[in-house]
Chain A
Amino acid sequence: MEAKGGREPLRNLKMKFRRIELDISQTELARRVGVTRQTIGLIEAGEFNPSIKLCVSICRALGVTLNDIFWEEEEHEAGEK
């Protein structure tokens, strides 16, 4: 699902920082997960909501848990509503 509407998409900065921390490019992460670089870019930009299956694959590739990069803080969730 692509994020639509006038609302600013919520960027997944935690995922981006973790990728940079591991010194992995979007292309490399995409290769490890088995998706295209554009898909990784759109997830990081908050313009594509991945399935739970893809989230798990990304977490495995980045060596983190779902909570670490896909859990939104309370104030973040409130901002979305």
Chain B
Amino acid sequence: MKRVKSNLDERQEQLMLKIEHRACWLVFWGLLAAIVIQIVVSDGFDYRYIVGEWIVFLAQCVYICFACIKNGVWDRKLKPNAKTNLIGSLIAAVAVGAILFVRTWLKYPDKLRGAVSTGLISAAVVFVLCFATMSLMAYLFRRKQRRMEQEPEEENETE
């Protein structure tokens, strides 16, 4: 297939990448905020209402994770270790626990203990799932990095 010539020079290409980068994270956090707001404030909430947003959000997450691992890059600041996984999982667990606690409490104001239990149980489940997923991703990343390091130098050279 014939490649279409770009109208942009290298400076404009870099600017375009920056703009697209910002747009990508705007969509990421915007979708997450939309999902959370709908879960918390919608009266008579049904999970079918957010299926579209959820699919797009998860597709973006999965793409970012696997594209990074495939290319042997992790994060600009965080390291792929147990401490990062623990902190990340705790943040996710607290956030999900709090959201589900608030939602349950708003729906059943007279059942505080039930709301607390919902929050705690969901936080625990999210923590375990998140920690397992992050550990798996870190393992896959380290394995990919090891393979890239072992590649013979000749294979990296292009003519």
Contacts and interface: CB of A to CB of B under 8 A. Distances in A.
B5 to A, nearest CB: 10
Interface string B3-44: 000000111101000000000000000000000000000000
A39 B10 CA distance: 9
B10 A51 contact: yes
Contact of B11 (A34, A48, A53): A48
Contact of B9 (A1, A2, A34): A34
Interface residues of A, number: 13
Contacts of A2: 11, 14
Range, interface on chain B: under 10
A54 B9 CA distance: 9
Contacts of B11: 2, 35-36, 38-39, 42, 48, 50
Contacts of A34: 9
Contacts of B12: 36, 39
A1 B12 CA distance: 10
Interface of A: 1-2, 34-36, 38-39, 42, 48, 50-51, 53-54
Top 5 A-B pairs, shortest CB-CB distance:
A35-B9, A39-B11, A48-B11, A39-B9, A36-B9
17 contacts: A1-B14, A2-B11, A2-B14, A34-B9, A35-B11, A36-B9, A36-B12, A39-B9, A39-B11, A39-B12, A42-B11, A48-B11, A50-B11, A51-B10, A53-B10, A54-B9, A54-B10
